[in-house]
Amino acid sequence: MNTKRRGEKAIELTLTLIAVSSIAILFIITLFIFKEGLPFIIEVGPAKMLGALDWAPTKGKFGLLPMIVGSLLATGGALLLGVPLGLSCAIFLVEFSKPRVRKVLKPAIELLAGIPSVVYGFLGVVFLVPLIRNFLGGPGLSLLAGALILGVMILPTVISISIDALEAVPRSYREGSLALGATTAQTVTHVVIPAARSGIVTAVILGMGRAIGETMAVIMVTGNALDLPGSPLAPIRTLTSNIALELGYASGKHQKALFATGVILFVMIMILNLAATATSRRRAR
């Protein structure tokens, strides 16, 4: 018994150390980003960075507003496509599909998460961008192309977590609703989805985080223009694209400005996550 107990304690200690190390790594990364970027934000002034339109670090101009707007619009467009489509797919697989169909579709959807983002970007450049240019106008490399690519990329995350949330709803909820005379569709709409709301919100938050943090595919299909987009067909540049495109040759204040961009991106993600969580809790109450 003592040997068995010692083994359990060793496993418990190992898992605790792994969990603590993960938190510590996240803390160190956060501390490093803020250490490098926050002093520069204070030096230049938050208003000048967040409200100015011009980004020319070699000339002392550090306006990030076009990139902030581009990131928010691309993420919002991705959520408009990915969340309804992903939630509908999850509902179909859990509530309406046959077990045989689900055994084929669920692993196939999860495999989409393993496709490198550069492949999504390549497919976007080869197929999506020419379609937009030929049928809708504009250069093709645009906000619309970025939103569509990101919408497809967040589907595996939204679908997988939504499936887990729907499956966690007790079967008695469904049986009680059906016993009262509700149809399957009414049961899903008025019973299952409200009961799984917290898990669905988690899926949306993680999908949003994936969209706003994506880099390579966005660089390839959005055009990377340093202007506020006048329409969905206009090119944009996101915060992540700005960092990836310029960090390789940046130095001095230019490099500090890119670290400051990372700080602003970090804060934006935190604000969006907290807002989504607070909205979910308020509706639940």
pLDDT tens digits, residue range 161-176? 999 999 999 999 998 9
Query: What residues have CB less than 8 Å from 225, skipping those under 6 apart?
Result: 234, 235, 236, 237
Amino acid at the residue 150: L
Same domain for 209 and 122 = yes
Question: Alpha-carbon distance 90 to 111, whole Å?
Answer: 15
Q: Is residue 144 part of a domain?
A: yes
Domain span at 202 = 66-284
Same domain for 225 and 102 = yes
Same domain for 84 and 30 = no
Has residue 130 got a pLDDT over 70?
yes
Distances (CA, A) of 78 to 68, 218, 238: 15, 12, 14
Question: Alpha-carbon distance 198 to 165, whole Å?
Answer: 8
Same domain for 176 and 37 = no
Task: Provide mean pLDDT across the span 186-192.
Answer: 92
Please calculate the CA angle 147-83-159 and round it to the nearest 5 degrees. Answer: 115
pLDDT digits (tens, 9 = 90+) for 213-261: 899 999 999 999 988 999 999 999 999 999 999 988 888 899 999 999 9
Same domain for 133 and 13 = no
Has residue 142 got a pLDDT over 70?
yes
Backbone angles phi, psi at 229, to 5 degrees: -70, 130
Task: Provide mean pLDDT across the span 68-92.
Answer: 94
For residue 231, give the CATH number of its domain: 1.10.3720.10
Same domain for 247 and 157 = yes
Same domain for 77 and 35 = no
Query: What residues have CB less than 8 Å from 251, skipping those under 6 apart?
Result: none
Rounded to 10°, the helix 155-167/65-91 angle is 40
pLDDT at 284: 58
- Rg of the chain in Å (alpha carbons): 23
- Regarding beta strands 61-62 and 55-56, do their DSSP bridges make them parallel or antiparallel, or are they unpaired? antiparallel
Give me the number of domains the chain comprises: 2
Has residue 71 got a pLDDT over 80?
yes
Has residue 66 got a pLDDT over 60?
yes
Same domain for 29 and 70 = no
Task: Please tell me the pTM assigned to this model.
Answer: 0.89
DSSP states along 79-121: HHHHHHHHHHHHHIIIIIS-HHHHHHHHHHHHHGGGS-HHHHH
pLDDT at 263: 92
Residue from 199, 110, 193 nearest 155 by CA: 110
Task: Provide mean pLDDT across the span 137-160.
Answer: 94
Same domain for 39 and 77 = no
Same domain for 182 and 97 = yes
Same domain for 120 and 26 = no
Q: Is residue 27 part of a domain?
A: yes
